[in-house]
Amino acid sequence: MSVNLSFHGRVWLIKDKEGKLIDDIDTDQIYHNAHLAITDIKEMGKFAFGNLEGMKDFAKDVKPGDTVIVGGNFGAGSSRQQAVDCFKSLGIACIVARSFGAIYKRNAINSGYPILTIENIDLHKLSNLDVVTVDADAQTIVRSDGTKVGNLKPLAGVQRDILEAGDLFEYAKRMK
């Protein structure tokens, strides 16, 4: 059985004033350390991007099934799982970035959360809240009118295996 890795929904482009996807968004900007004591995933969503300038209302405005597109080194910084779980909590379908921080990448992969890496993207063809299909298998980002706006890098082998199993714990059981 193959897991569904095609996501259809609105897109949130996390851009700076010059219209560039923001690089180096760190875990404190994604999920501030003031909320680290929270262990219930249901409580985490409301703090997503709470410390990222101009994004204070993100958690209120997103809808389950939306996708987030960001720049490079996304999730740099701390090891907090909450920086992944807060998006899960909101029902964000997947995170698409130019690259990910090393620990963030592991945290997402291990918890079976789809993170996808941009090969190329044409931001002129994409506006905030456009409806797109992000397809990890086809490795494409396609607007709802059929226009292709970007390509994705292939998933790493272990990432696909863990996504298919559900998470690291289920994956390890299958290995035995």
Provide the minimum distance between the beta carbon of 148 and another protein in the complex, in angstroms, as a whole number: 27
Closest CA to 100 of 27, 29, 167: 27
When asked if residue 111 is in the footprint of another protein (CB under 8 A), the reply is yes
d(CA 49, CA 100): 16
When asked if residue 164 is in the footprint of another protein (CB under 8 A), the reply is no
Query: Which span (57-65, 97-105, 114-122, 132-140) binds another protein, by CB under 8 A?
Result: 97-105
Instruction: Decide whether 24 or 130 has the Cβ nearer to another protein.
Output: 24
Site for another protein (CB under 8 A): which residue of 9, 77, 114, 150?
Answer: 77
Instruction: Decide whether 34 or 129 has the Cβ nearer to another protein.
Output: 34
When asked if residue 139 is in the footprint of another protein (CB under 8 A), the reply is no
Site for another protein (CB under 8 A): which residue of 2, 17, 18, 37?
Answer: 37
Provide the minimum distance between the beta carbon of 38 and another protein in the complex, in angstroms, as a whole number: 8
Query: Which span (18-26, 116-124, 130-138, 140-148) binds another protein, by CB under 8 A?
Result: 18-26
Q: DSSP states of the chain as a string?
A: -----EEEEEEEE-B-TTSPBPP--BHHHHS-GGGTT---HHHHGGGTTTTSTT-TTHHHH--TT-EEEE-SSBTBS---THHHHHHHHHT--EEEES-B-HHHHHHHHHTT--EEEEEEE-GGG--TT-EEEEETTTTEEEETTS-EEEEEPPPPHHHHHHHHHSSHHHHHHHH-
Closest CA to 74 of 37, 53, 100, 95: 100
When asked if residue 167 is in the footprint of another protein (CB under 8 A), the reply is yes
Residues that bind another protein (CB under 8 A): 23-24, 26, 28-29, 32-34, 36-39, 51, 53, 72-73, 76-81, 84, 99, 101-103, 106-107, 110-111, 156-158, 167-169, 172
